Amino acid sequence: MPMLYRLDVAASAVGRAFGAEAGNDPWRGGHVAPGSFAPVITAGREMIAGPRPSERQPSRMVPRLWGVPPPPSVHDAPRHGILSVRNADSPFWIGNLRNSEFRCLVPCTAFMEWGRTRDREGKRSQHWFALADQPVFAMAGVWKDSEIPGFALLTCEANAALRAAGRDTMPVILSPDRAAQDLWLHGGWDRAGRLIVPYSSSLMRERGSPAG
């Protein structure tokens, strides 16, 4: 599960990449840390009350905080909230996941996973991953609203590249096929849930730590 990722393109380019209305989103590119705002792509119905309209709404890019407040029963959650969905069948998540309007795309250009080794100073190694087939790609996300407009990333079993770095899980990365992204935003859970699979290791490349 990444604890840091980057989106090194501006809001207008993100909107074009995913066919979404960017509006006046101020994003100029940079890193995203837990508890900070980042652009996400929604199905266009966020914060709109009432029955679903008969016509599909345009996808929309909106800023949300990475991290969802935990349920009241959890007393030892991190301050930044819950960053990832490890169990898609959890009662805490399943209602939002079954309702496509709460799913979102999380644009990304690279993400970081902690390695199992440490350097001479005792610092854990960082592994940054980008995709060979997608300069800007979408991670599968889900959003929840309480007092904080947060989102979390879906995770799945790690592929070979992530296992080599010492990880058991990885973010769910959607293919560049617009149909797959559309399915995550609009499709029934019986089909959208099948997208929760590891991305091909052959299409991933490890890179040095980005600047900034």
Note down pLDDT in tens along the chain; length 212 residues. 778 999 999 999 999 999 999 988 999 999 999 999 999 999 976 655 455 666 778 899 999 999 999 887 776 667 788 999 999 999 999 999 999 999 999 999 999 998 877 777 777 889 999 999 999 999 999 998 877 789 999 999 999 999 999 999 999 999 999 999 999 999 999 999 999 999 999 999 998 767 55
Question: What is the C-alpha separation between 158 and 108, in angstroms, rounded?
Answer: 18
Contacts of 18 (CB under 8 A, 6+ apart): 41, 59, 61, 105, 107, 138, 181
- Indicate the burial class of 140 (C-beta count within 10 angstroms; 0-12, 13-18, 19 or more): buried
Residue 195's beta-bridge partner residues?
none
Q: What does the pLDDT read at residue 138?
A: 98
Q: Residue 201: what are its φ and ψ, rounded to 5°?
A: -60, -30
Count of H-run helices and E-run strands, the chain: 5, 12
Give the predicted TM-score (pTM) of the model. Answer: 0.92
Residue 173's alpha-carbon distances to 60, 78, 108, 130, 131, in angstroms, are 19, 24, 10, 11, 10
Residue 90: other Cβ atoms inside 10 A: 11
Distance CA 163, CA 165 (A): 5
Fold of 4-45+59-71+92-117+124-207: hypothetical protein yedk fold (3.90.1680)
Q: Decide: helix, strand or coil at residue 162.
A: helix
Query: What tokens does 154 get?
Result: 């879906």
3-state helix, strand, coil in the chain (%, to 5): 20, 35, 45
Comparing C-alpha atoms, which of 15, 98, 100 is closest to residue 60? 15
What token pair was written down for 187? 């499709």
Name residue 202's beta-bridge partners: none
